[in-house]
Amino acid sequence: MALVKPHGKMKKLMPLLLQGPALEKELNKATKLKQVRITSRETSDLVMLGIGAFTPLKGFMGKADWKGVCDRYKLADGTFWPIPITLSTTKEVADTIKKGEDVTLVDDETGEVMATMKVNEKYGIDKTHECKQVYQTTDLEHPGVKKVMEQGDVNLAGPVKVLSEAHYPESHKDLYMTPADTRKQFEEKGWSTIAAFQTRNPMHRSHEFLSKIAIETMDGVFIHQILGKLKEGDIPADTRAKAINTLMDNYFVKDTAIQGGYPMEMRYGGPREALLHAVFRQNFGCSHLIVGRDHAGVGDFYGPFDAQKIFDEIPANALETKPLKIDHTFYCFKCDGMASMRTCPHSKEDRLMLSGTKLRKMLSEGEDVPDHFSRPEVLAILKEYYAGLSEKVEIKMHKHMEG
């Protein structure tokens, strides 16, 4: 059996990153063009475009694509897409750019030249509409909403030529992988059914259990963690990677799991972001996406299983990558092992409910972590990380995590 085909009508990866002489030529051209400063989120989206993870997008979305994605989960050409991928600037900057003009996109924090773009369109959007449609809220406490509301007033749209992968290949050498890399690895292993496990946390026992459910029925699991900026209180990628490698070395059968990372920033978009996770996992070659409780959620903005339900609301042919939906998982003292709501008949009092937020809260406050919450080797790494922090970050529990 072959791997799932990349997303879109062409069924092939469409990386936009230039290399060799074409890269040198475009870098030289970029020095002579008008510069547009871009945010870290836009930079990470550019890298995703560059490596082909956002296949079949050719650049940042125009108004018809933006509206279609917000309202109907579709690009203007009918291709399924769940979250707008846009670039914004101020009205002052936009007024200096002519339609059809090439500009250079420069990371606002590092000053690095990231790409060139042909500006085919300049348009304004109703930010409140985007937030309501995509995030189901306009509350500025939601980090995804906050980012949209902070965007410039004018969106610039057009095809891009990506000139850099930013810091990711260097700062995450052992984790960072392109869709071409993962597809090659899967093919070398003879895998065709692969479940992606999305994470922004080190893996506790519940995560381990979810991954092993996938391994029971598929060729392997791809533990795929986010490498872009996170919200305050989240654990950085290098600590997560160390903890996950330790878990894999001690508790997984060799060659049943691969760990990798991707260069995106979380939007914390709950159901819509779960769909985006499935879209780009299809490009990475994964046949399934594990969707557990509160996938890509934040605070109390989404119900614990909203991200599972949304897959039933989209057309059956929208995605080749399918959800692997798994109920609440926990340690049950009466079952004497990991279980889920579907397999454990016992009461709430017999269960140790597990969550990454809960674990971070306990560790950040120096509390003892109960037995069966996390593997001891993983806890040792996380305790060392928290002991080294100079400032304590307050971590809020949301209602459906408190179990």
- Among this protein's residues, is 200 annotated catalytic? yes
For residues 4 and 27, what is the distance between their CA atoms, to the nearest angstrom? 34
Catalytic residue among 200, 205, 240, 267: 200
Evaluate whether 283 touches 59 at the Cβ level (below 8 Å): no
28 an active-site residue?
Answer: no
For the residues of 292-329, what is the DSSP string, one character each? Answer: -TTTT--TTSS-TTHHHHGGGTS-TTS-SSEEEE---E
d(CA 206, CA 198): 13
Sign of the dihedral defined by the CA atoms of residues 34, 39, 40, 41, in that order: negative
Cα separation, 105 vs 160, whole angstroms: 9
List of residues 6+ apart from 39 with CB closer than 8 A: 108, 147
Annotated catalytic residue, options 201, 205, 351, 360: 201
Task: State both tokens at 296.
Answer: 């890509």
**Tally of CB atoms within 10 A around 306:** 18
Helical spans, DSSP H, in 96-165 = 127-130, 143-150
Q: Which residues contact 253 (CB under 8 A, 6 or more apart)?
A: 215
Q: How far apart are the C-alpha atoms of 180 and 255, rounded to whole Å?
A: 19
Query: How many CA atoms are closer than 13 Å to the CA of 396, on its beta-carbon side?
Result: 8
Rounded CA-CA distance 109/111 in Å is 6
Q: Buried b vs exposed e over 230-266: b needs ≥16 C-beta within 10 Å? A: beeebbebebbbbbbebbbeebbeeebbbbbbbbbbb
Cα–Cα distance, 84 to 60 (Å, whole number): 9
In whole angstroms, what is the distance from residue 42 CA to residue 49 CA? 10
Pull the structure tokens for residue 394: 């307050």
Task: At 132, give phi and psi (nearest 5°).
Answer: -65, -45
List active site positions.
200-201
